[in-house]
């Protein structure tokens, strides 16, 4: 009975998500197959109060497909560009982290949410990874962190594509990425090979505990094979659209109705801080175009505060350089997850221990 209930709720989610995607597509809104489901799912839940379900494996499969799509866009020239731009990746990432911490400090003062919550809620890392780390840190209220990170993600996912398509769209150049071999003939075994490569990437991502392993594992493995061994076959358009739909439904379900009770207080500051971060990222993008021969569209998607899947999907639609965008986004994701957050986690715990020691002495 419970199994049938989940199937019914999954079908309902798919229908609502598809309806939103179709309407957004007809109205020519940006990212219709991802933002449409996000909007329709959210509106449906708020107006009907119905409980929806979306299997976790659907989201994981969508991330695997997107990881393959991103990895297949890599080539030796793109790898060379990424290595040459490493100092700029480091610089933009550091500035983004510093600005995020500054926003977090302002929110701590204005909303009185506590230092740990303000920090974890403001850092632009992957939502699921930050939530996991916040759950491991006793000083952090994961409900507040989930709320802040979800609002930030929604603001970024809607505002960045809108600014690109309606604000700086004139900078979009309809160019195609170069391929290794124009005479490369696609056959069924190429797809079979890269399915195995992607599955191996998922396994390695899990074993190595990579952030967003279902996305980054296949991405890294596919990119390695494409750069050093053999080109990848193109991913059929309908699979890309279904992946966007699945990801959009998942994102729509992340924003819980009970979170909206806090919109008047913490929500306003979170939205303002998120918009400030987007504007700051756009400023960094302008600087990148001055220092590096890069279109403003590619630069903005590279510096935008994630998530990587959404920014790369946008890059594909507006013909930005996917490999450069994913390179910047991946570097920031890894840097924040493996260096910034563990250091902040250590600092928060050490600071609490120090305060407890001082209280004990007095």
Q: Rounded mean pLDDT of the chain?
A: 80
User: What pLDDT, on a 0 to 100 scale, did the predictor assign at position 317?
Assistant: 77
pLDDT above 90 covers a percentage of the chain that reads 14
User: What pLDDT, on a 0 to 100 scale, did the predictor assign at position 142?
Assistant: 67
The predicted-structure confidence for 6-59, as pLDDT tens digits, reads as follows 788 888 899 999 999 999 889 877 678 877 888 888 889 888 888 888 888 888
User: What pLDDT, on a 0 to 100 scale, did the predictor assign at position 325?
Assistant: 87
> Does residue 279 have a pLDDT over 70?
yes
The predicted-structure confidence for 313-351, as pLDDT tens digits, reads as follows 778 778 888 888 888 887 887 788 778 877 887 787 777
Domain spans, the chain: 58-174+189-361
User: What pLDDT, on a 0 to 100 scale, did the predictor assign at position 268?
Assistant: 83
Confidence of residue 258 (pLDDT cuts 50, 70, 90): low
User: What pLDDT, on a 0 to 100 scale, did the predictor assign at position 348?
Assistant: 78
User: What pLDDT, on a 0 to 100 scale, did the predictor assign at position 171?
Assistant: 46
> Does residue 70 have a pLDDT over 80?
no
Confidence of residue 260 (pLDDT cuts 50, 70, 90): low
Q: Does the pTM of the predicted model rise above 0.75? A: no
Peptide bond just before 307 cis, omega within 30 deg = yes
> Does residue 173 have a pLDDT over 60?
no
pLDDT above 70 covers a percentage of the chain that reads 81
User: What pLDDT, on a 0 to 100 scale, did the predictor assign at position 185?
Assistant: 56
The predicted-structure confidence for 318-327, as pLDDT tens digits, reads as follows 888 888 888 8
> Does residue 183 have a pLDDT over 50?
no
Decide: 218 and 71 in contact? Cβ < 8 Å. yes
The predicted-structure confidence for 107-165, as pLDDT tens digits, reads as follows 888 877 788 888 888 888 766 567 656 656 677 776 677 778 877 877 887 788 888 87
User: Which whole number is the average pLDDT over 182-197?
Assistant: 73
User: What pLDDT, on a 0 to 100 scale, did the predictor assign at position 136?
Assistant: 61
User: What pLDDT, on a 0 to 100 scale, did the predictor assign at position 182?
Assistant: 43
User: What pLDDT, on a 0 to 100 scale, did the predictor assign at position 200?
Assistant: 92
């Amino acid at each position: 009975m419970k199994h049938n209930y989940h199937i019914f709720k999954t079908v309902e989610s798919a229908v609502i998500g598809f309806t939103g995607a179709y309407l957004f597509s007809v109205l020519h809104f940006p990212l219709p197959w991802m933002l449409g489901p996000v909007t329709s799912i959210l509106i449906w839940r708020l107006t009907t109060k119905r409980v929806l379900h979306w299997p976790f494996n659907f989201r994981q499969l969508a991330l695997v497909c997107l990881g393959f799509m991103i990895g297949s866009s890599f080539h030796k020239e793109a790898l060379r560009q990424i290595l040459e731009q490493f100092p700029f990746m480091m610089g933009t990432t550091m500035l983004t982290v510093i600005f995020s911490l500054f926003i977090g400090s302002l929110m701590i003062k204005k909303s009185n949410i506590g230092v740990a919550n303000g920090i974890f809620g403001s850092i632009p890392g992957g939502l699921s990874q930050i939530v996991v780390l916040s759950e491991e840190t006793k000083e952090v209220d994961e409900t507040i962190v989930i709320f802040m990170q979800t609002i930030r993600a929604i603001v970024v996912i809607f505002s960045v594509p809108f600014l690109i398509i309606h604000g700086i769209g004139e900078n979009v150049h309809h160019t195609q990425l170069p391929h290794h071999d124009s005479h490369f003939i696609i056959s069924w075994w190429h797809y079979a090979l890269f399915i195995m490569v992607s599955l191996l990437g998922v396994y390695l991502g899990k074993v190595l505990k990579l952030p967003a392993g279902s996305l980054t594992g296949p991405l890294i493995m596919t990119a390695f094979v494409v750069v050093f061994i053999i080109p990848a076959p193109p991913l059929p358009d309908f699979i890309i659209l279904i992946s966007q739909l699945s990801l959009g439904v998942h994102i729509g379900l992340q924003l819980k109705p009970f979170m909206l009770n806090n919109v008047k207080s913490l929500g306003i500051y979170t939205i303002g801080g998120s918009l400030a971060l987007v504007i700051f990222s756009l400023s960094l993008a302008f600087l990148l175009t001055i220092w590096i021969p890069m279109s403003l569209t590619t630069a903005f998607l590279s510096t935008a505060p994630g998530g990587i899947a959404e920014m790369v999907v946008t890059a594909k639609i507006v013909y930005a350089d996917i490999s450069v965008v994913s390179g910047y986004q991946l570097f920031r994701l890894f840097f924040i997850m493996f260096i910034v957050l563990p250091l902040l986690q250590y600092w928060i715990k050490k600071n609490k221990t120090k305060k407890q020691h001082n209280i004990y002495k007095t």
